[in-house]
């Protein structure tokens, strides 16, 4: 059962500018994210399987870089990135009782990879500028 819910390759850096703030992500970071994709991940609303991204790796990098460029510079997020396919997963007990299921949201694999790239960039900026409290340990490496 599926329920739908709206819930340039020449250099090694991609640099995006918006309002004077520069967003830079390395090609290696995109490559690393592609390698981290699980082959058996379910597809999201965009119907792009992670396996395609993983198998086409190097060839996909310029396209993903361009997509990230367009998204960041135009504040335009693809419609499918804003959707999720919510699937009920059985936890145990009586299958006719709704409380025995938990929802799992299947979202765009491409969007998740872009989110990871952006999150990595933000962590670097926060660390570099000392914007995190030294007692902050959650969501930090090490």
pLDDT per residue over 96-106, tens digit each?
A: 999 999 999 99
Q: In the chain, where are the structural domains located?
A: 3-128
Classify 12 as helix, strand or coil. Answer: coil
Which residues are within 8 A (CB) of 83 and not within 5 positions of it... i.e. 6 or more apart? 4, 5, 6, 7, 44, 45, 107, 108
- Strands (DSSP E) contained in the chain are 3-5, 13-18, 21-26, 84-90, 101-106
For 3, the token pair is: 């329920």
Q: How many CB atoms lie within 10 A of CB 141?
A: 6
Instruction: State what percent of residues in the chain have pLDDT above 70.
Output: 80
Note the pTM of the prediction, 2 decimals: 0.67
pLDDT bin (cut points 50, 70, 90) of residue 139 is low
For 68, the token pair is: 């990230």
At residue 24, the pLDDT reads 63
Tens-digit pLDDT profile for residues 35-91: 888 877 788 898 888 888 888 778 888 888 888 877 877 778 888 888 999 999 999
Cα–Cα–Cα angle for 77, 81, 86, nearest 5°? 155
Q: Give dist(CA 44, CA 83) in Å, integer.
A: 8
């Amino acid at each position: 059962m599926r329920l739908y819910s709206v819930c340039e390759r020449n250099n090694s850096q991609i640099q995006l500018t918006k309002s004077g703030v520069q967003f830079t992500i390395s090609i290696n970071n995109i490559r690393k994210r592609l390698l981290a994709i699980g082959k058996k991940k379910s597809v999201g609303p965009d119907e792009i399987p992670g396996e395609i991204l993983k198998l086409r790796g190097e060839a996909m990098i310029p396209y993903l870089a361009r997509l990230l460029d367009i998204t960041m510079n135009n504040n335009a997020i693809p419609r499918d990135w804003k959707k999720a396919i919510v699937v009920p997963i059985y936890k145990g007990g009586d299958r006719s009782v709704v409380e025995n299921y938990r929802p799992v949201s299947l979202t765009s694999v491409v969007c998740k990879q872009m989110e990871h790239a952006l999150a990595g960039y933000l962590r670097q900026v926060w660390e570099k500028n000392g914007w995190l409290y030294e007692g902050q340990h959650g969501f930090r490496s090490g």
